[in-house]
Chain A
């Protein structure tokens, strides 16, 4: 186990609400980060990713121009974005299962529901740094492996082989329907 030197990490925070950006920036600064760039919509968020090459992106879902799910998809396009492996934390009030699954299937690395807490944000960043996940490329998906763990007792057919188009993964924890 080791401690995280936040002063080595560069963040981009994308949220159309200035108050939420300030809260997230305050948390990251208190953790020790010194390089935090902000954007207020998906388009300027993508520009910030290209311009600043952050280590971690934190994005809301609902935003003008294009939303956090679309932003995630654009970043996870190796032909269109220079940083397809960028860790992405989706931070949103949309905690309903369909939004969690949409974020996961777009290639988000972590999902965090508002209200945001210092502990929850720290744990997501810690998980990204300490437990990086393999990436998977299929016909329909490019992003972090959506399986959080390998079930040692599973003896069935691998779903990627059995139904690649369907490409379902069942181990992501999602909150109850709001």
Chain B
């Protein structure tokens, strides 16, 4: 990229450096872009399809990692470091589970992250509710409940989301009432 002197712009406090085309010069070739993109994407989807024979095993490993983080959280009575680790593992899995073919596990991890993130006093988080999320993810991984068709996994996911939202709503009401009383 070539830097262009722009004295006026510099006086104004910013400088625009025009882009260069070195990447396009390096890798764009004559041809039908749309056809090439479609072919490349199809090849990539087929490659992911071949890789997917590993996904069930990977999902079980990730679910075990989540359970380990949950165990540490409960052992330390919602210790801040352990809870942060649980959040991170759940958040990672929220991003990964759909790629691995487990969208319901991703939804449960999203609910778990929301529960941890939105609770005003993390130390008072209900251990049972945390555990139910983690156990549900483990069950889904163990039973290879991929997709969104599994009725039991789907109902479980919906129930966890509902209970979590109820809990967060109750907590919010309690905090608002306490603030109103204090005022």
Instruction: Convert B16-30 into 0s and 1s, putting 1 for each residue whose CB lies closer than 8 angstroms to a CB of A.
Output: 111111011011111
Which of chain B's residues has its CB closest to A56's CB? B23
Q: Please measure, in the bound complex, the distance between the C-alpha atom of A135 and the C-alpha atom of B3, giving whole angstroms.
A: 9
CB of B92 within 8 A of chain A? yes
Interface size on B, residues (CB 8 A): 49
B77 at the binding interface (Cβ < 8 Å): no
Shortest beta-carbon distance, A158 to chain B, in Å? Answer: 9
Question: Would you call B58 and A19 a contact (CB within 8 A)?
Answer: yes
Question: Which of A94, A116, A122, A161 meets B41, CB within 8 Å?
Answer: A122
C-alpha gap A115/B55 in the complex (Å): 14
**B7 adjacent to chain A (CB < 8 Å):** no
B144, CB-defined interface residue at 8 Å: no
Interface footprint category on A: 35 or more
Cβ-defined partner of A8 (8 Å) among B14, B26, B37, B48? B26
Residue contact A62 to B24, C-beta cutoff 8 Å: no
The answer to whether B98 touches A115 (Cβ under 8 A) is yes
- B1 surroundings in chain A (CB, below 8 A): 85, 135
Q: Min CB distance, B83 to chain A, in Å? A: 15
Contact of A136 (CB < 8 Å), options: B16, B46, B62, B92? B16
Q: Are B96 and A19 in contact (CB under 8 A)?
A: yes
Task: Give B contacts to A, CB under 8 Å.
Answer: 1, 12-21, 23-24, 26-37, 40-41, 43-48, 51, 58, 61-62, 88, 91-92, 94-100, 106, 110
Supply 26 A–B pairs (Cβ within 8 Å), ascending by A: A2-B33, A4-B40, A17-B96, A26-B47, A30-B43, A30-B48, A31-B43, A55-B23, A62-B88, A93-B94, A93-B95, A93-B96, A114-B98, A115-B95, A115-B96, A115-B106, A122-B37, A122-B41, A128-B23, A130-B24, A130-B28, A132-B19, A135-B1, A136-B15, A145-B16, A164-B14
